[in-house]
Structure 1
């Protein structure tokens, strides 16, 4: 019986290099050298092991760029020409070294070896090295996994959409190649930050790898260190790199590849011999580079090198392989005595180390597999997937950020030599996301353009370019590649914005950068899950009972509009939505409105004039009405909005066994900036009960989510943030005005506010700002829309500040009148002191009115300062006045802010996306409630 397991992991990756316009480009040789010295020798070793019936397991990560290049007919043809040139050079070397027995024998070895490589590549594998890899996976000796699209370094990507696209492209290419999803994924450079695992889970990835300190620095501390996997909260497993096995191979001073008997990588005839002699084998005939023909062994650290002796090197590789097996056996024996399971040593390496950098690497690896199969060392080879099959119960931890690069974090890919690239890549990232959202169903040339833009972006994101710049190797080439891809992306985006697509130019770009021919640009959309969540996992519609105390035409605040728009969006997605709400004058007790069943409680049940008693009567009526509806097909879930319907929601949950989703739009504590009386205390307690009894909680902003977590101790893991939305089609800016209503005269500058007139909305601050502005802009006029208990105070404030002829109170505004006054506005201002979200600001943005908001609560998340609006600190009339003046005196600035805000509304705050996010919460709540019931 083995004492434990060894997981050898080889990560095979090269940057995507394909230049149809230049058949002699040097960088294409990176692929050719890797095939000759690494990939093909490794495949040969694996096939020999299979033939000899040696039991072994290797995990092989194949990057999408490498797969694309290995599968590319142009590169396959160029590789054969490259081999032919090397064979001729080796033949010439036999003659040139006819008087040097040692070198002649080595030249013969290279000549014979190159001919074998050519025969295997062309005749046995049909020019495609992926075919034997597929066969080896089918035999069960290789577990092939994938990595991100172009090996983009995920921790430094700005958007979740960009990270997700990198993962998705890698997974989809793997499925096309192997006919099934990958079990694992190699994170480029082992770069991890929290949240990446959640994306992997979305695509069914079971495991990934991290550097040692990603595990050891996790919280809580891992019981078994890196010698057992851990689960992220998402349920995806992480395996950590074992430092001992890593050091034995990687260490530049003590690692195996530095043994004096091994071939010296840095002495190649490409640099030693006459240029004219080498010319037929060099790029362009005059660029020196490695040929792969090397005559010396490492010997020592000095310049004097002895000739390479393959026989002695092979013997040493066998010795080192057995030494490695022995050391792993001793390590596992020690660990197994301290663990209640068999430990696993995870040993990941760059595949290119084996054969390219370390010429004897494939021989070493083959002998290691043979040594482990003898059972002599107590080591059994396995794969991560097999280990997880044996040990499904693993510790759950929060992994630490990490990478396997120098310093253990981001230093290699973000430093003074390469930091300049990110402002260009990040700008392209966000632009690509916006383009995908602005063109959800493009066809023809527009679709081709968007797909090519996505290709250019992923190619620019390759981690290789930043690495090359940092290590100062092929710097000029790396800089050129970034410049080319970003340049092409920008060109395509400009062509689209101008509506002038140059099809010849587009075709040229498609020919140059043809990776991912099945590219679908919509994967960058914030709303991409539309395709996967239309009506749930199996296509069934959910039956939802939605409780809200207000619903149009009974509208008090933003809650009514939110429930109305959300319910209609859910209905459009095929869901069966029943809203139970208050009665409204001259409105039927039941209506079917755009697919939503609206049921109103009987007015006769609501008799109390005491507010809290009235709320109680409303909840009783809602429960009775829901019970009647339960007589037919039962509901799947209760979705309740705010504490006023909390009693009914909890009763329905308990009586009918339904999961409860609670949307908390605001809290009593937040509205009043504290709890100051008995009524507020009672409502605060109802807020808390409502939140704590819910299966899942939805908040409209991160600000509100944190408030709910802080006030009520609701676990952050069950709180989801979904913004309010807006329907731009309802916010046109009509030319006509309401007859007889206050208007502005020609030349006036109009500031508009709409909202409930309560202290927390901050209108009193806006009035002070207007007073500060009037000496500078005497034509200023403020229109105040809305009603509320603070109106009398605000009117007295107007008189106090001498603003009587400059401020107009418009009263309650329905949607039509709101739109008409938005048309008048030069700027909309929302100076709230407390604001969970601020739907009115979003509506102004959708009406293409420049906005200024307080830098507080959800408003802070809606507006990006200086990009699509301005933010002023709450309670600061001086700064509010400054930003109002900036917009009023700079029409160009106002137009730019409005244009960017409009784009944000279209791409971030559309109801379809929010409804889909809500459906995801519903599914999660149903699953969680069901599992809790089974556990109980």
Structure 2
């Protein structure tokens, strides 16, 4: 396949987290990248089925194949927090794991055997990267493999077995991308020499969607959180910090936008602290509604922490979304977000598990207002627009296609 050929090269994308339908509130970053590559590639996405989703569909020019791995009502391993979170939350779901792996492998082998595939992009080293390596052998495919790590496949999966699996995949991949330098530092010792390794984050639509609006009045007393309600997001610390925040800013209130397994415990904490009229659970928001949410908040808080499992935020794109909408931010002091924010990180970061310090930083940013973070926003936004990110992936994929034997052993 040459770049000047009239037929587009076929890119097979493997993912676990993927929108179930248009406007789904599940994370959509894999689809957002895939749809921006359709101009130069024929993109096929292989992802798990979920109740209510179509088995096959074409969305924004992307062909989507959703594999079945259990009766529809039991296909709950992925959505609502991710595989690792769902396994910790419901131990019985470990029974779904072998079904999930075998089903994805079977469909993957079938696609590779029946259709021309010029390149494979596996999101997450485990399990998609591993399955791609095995499927290439079974289907006798020579399609080069690009693997992207988003964080949970490194931070949450620790120990000898997982290290061995990652080394196996990384020695057979043609290229590796990671979404932050913190991930690069973890994975580079396991990566063989002379492999393509790049830090390429996922992107945000900063041209048309996540933009500031001078016509929407910002509420200086509104504190906002957006994201999955899982341990590594640190929302429990934000809830507890509201007691100290209210002592200094009596009119402050908190809106929590999202869903997840931590919600019951968070509601109990709100009740115990007497914050029922102050902390509001807004539920999940459709992607199209998020810009308006960011635009009216006085401060966006992402109190990221390292979970007991070792998992932590891999990138933190909600921070970029908030900055794109002109909203001041406060973030938890974790490595990936430091990479995202660059030299301005220390100005807005705090150990979120120290709830007094978190409260102090939030009150300080609320008092300073949006103008105080203009330099931070400008330095971040120019690196994360989807046009920039998709262009970098386009270049890397073509490089692999021109050299299809890179990484094969």
Report the TM-score when normalising by structure 2. Answer: 0.79
Report the Cα offset of residue 691 of structure 1. Answer: 4.0
Cα distance in 1, alignment partners of residues 264 and 194 from structure 2: 40
The residue aligned with 1:588 is 54
- Three-state SS of the structure 2 residue aligned to 1:662 is strand
- Decide whether the 8 Å contact of 1:868 with 1:901 is kept in 2: no
Residues 722 and 866 (structure 1 numbering): CA distance in 2 closer, same or farther, change over 3 Å?
closer
The residue aligned with 2:82 is none
- Decide whether the 8 Å contact of 2:171 with 2:407 is kept in 1: no
The residue aligned with 1:553 is 20
Residues 752 and 931 (structure 1 numbering): CA distance in 2 closer, same or farther, change over 3 Å?
closer
Report the Cα offset of residue 701 of structure 1. Answer: 0.6
Structure 2: state its 5+ residue gaps: 77-91, 306-311
Cα distance in 1, alignment partners of residues 96 and 171 from structure 2: 23
The residue aligned with 2:278 is 806
Residues 747 and 854 (structure 1 numbering): CA distance in 2 closer, same or farther, change over 3 Å?
closer
The residue aligned with 2:337 is 859
- Decide whether the 8 Å contact of 1:615 with 1:644 is kept in 2: no
1 or 2 for the larger relative contact order (CA 8 Å, sep ≥6)? Answer: 2
The residue aligned with 1:232 is none
Correspondent of 1:640 among 111, 116, 122: 122
Correspondent of 1:719 among 171, 194, 197: 197
- Decide whether the 8 Å contact of 2:35 with 2:61 is kept in 1: yes
Correspondent of 1:650 among 133, 141, 148: 133
Correspondent of 1:759 among 231, 242, 249: 231
More strand by share: 2
Residues 552 and 735 (structure 1 numbering): CA distance in 2 closer, same or farther, change over 3 Å?
farther
Cα distance in 2, alignment partners of residues 731 and 768 from structure 1: 29
The 5 Å alignment of 1:641-720 reads: 641-642=123-124, 643-654=126-137, 655=139, 656-667=141-152, 670-671=155-156, 686-687=165-166, 689-710=168-189, 712=190, 717-720=195-198
The 5 Å alignment of 1:449-598 reads: 538=4, 541-553=8-20, 560-572=27-39, 574-598=40-64
- Decide whether the 8 Å contact of 1:577 with 1:596 is kept in 2: yes
- Decide whether the 8 Å contact of 2:295 with 2:326 is kept in 1: no
- Three-state SS of the structure 1 residue aligned to 2:248 is coil
Instruction: Work out whether 1:795 is the aligned partner of 2:271.
Output: no
Report the Cα offset of residue 703 of structure 1. Answer: 0.7
Cα distance in 2, alignment partners of residues 714 and 764 from structure 1: 40
Residues 766 and 599 (structure 1 numbering): CA distance in 2 closer, same or farther, change over 3 Å?
same
Report the Cα offset of residue 690 of structure 1. Answer: 4.0
Correspondent of 1:618 among 100, 120, 130: 100
- Decide whether the 8 Å contact of 1:747 with 1:779 is kept in 2: no
Q: How big is each residue's C-alpha offset from its partner over 1:808-851, in whole Å with a ceiling of 9 and x where there is no partner? A: 12222221343343233111011111221001111111222111
Cα distance in 2, alignment partners of residues 559 and 665 from structure 1: 15
The residue aligned with 1:913 is 388
Correspondent of 1:832 among 289, 301, 304: 304
Residues 647 and 671 (structure 1 numbering): CA distance in 2 closer, same or farther, change over 3 Å?
closer
Q: How big is each residue's C-alpha offset from its partner over 1:411-441, in whole Å with a ceiling of 9 and x where there is no partner? A: xxxxxxxxxxxxxxxxxxxxxxxxxxxxxxx
The residue aligned with 2:308 is none
Cα distance in 1, alignment partners of residues 194 and 184 from structure 2: 8
The residue aligned with 1:750 is 222
More helix by share: 1
Correspondent of 2:66 among 600, 610, 619: 600
Q: How big is each residue's C-alpha offset from its partner over 1:266-286, in whole Å with a ceiling of 9 and x where there is no partner? A: xxxxxxxxxxxxxxxxxxxxx
Structure 1: state its 5+ residue gaps: 1-534, 676-680, 738-743
Give the count of matched residue pairs.
Answer: 382
Report the TM-score when normalising by structure 1. Answer: 0.37
Residues 536 and 733 (structure 1 numbering): CA distance in 2 closer, same or farther, change over 3 Å?
farther
Cα distance in 2, alignment partners of residues 918 and 701 from structure 1: 15
Q: How big is each residue's C-alpha offset from its partner over 1:708-747, in whole Å with a ceiling of 9 and x where there is no partner? A: 235x45558543210120013233578999xxxxxx9x97
Report the Cα offset of residue 566 of structure 1. Answer: 0.6
- Decide whether the 8 Å contact of 2:174 with 2:406 is kept in 1: no
Cα distance in 2, alignment partners of residues 586 and 754 from structure 1: 25
- Decide whether the 8 Å contact of 1:543 with 1:577 is kept in 2: yes
RMSD: 3.7
Cα distance in 1, alignment partners of residues 349 and 49 from structure 2: 39
Instruction: Work out whether 1:895 is the aligned partner of 2:371.
Output: yes
Cα distance in 2, alignment partners of residues 611 and 843 from structure 1: 33
Q: How big is each residue's C-alpha offset from its partner over 1:81-132, in whole Å with a ceiling of 9 and x where there is no partner? A: xxxxxxxxxxxxxxxxxxxxxxxxxxxxxxxxxxxxxxxxxxxxxxxxxxxx
Residues 784 and 683 (structure 1 numbering): CA distance in 2 closer, same or farther, change over 3 Å?
farther
Residues 931 and 752 (structure 1 numbering): CA distance in 2 closer, same or farther, change over 3 Å?
closer
- Decide whether the 8 Å contact of 2:2 with 2:402 is kept in 1: no
Cα distance in 1, alignment partners of residues 380 and 47 from structure 2: 29
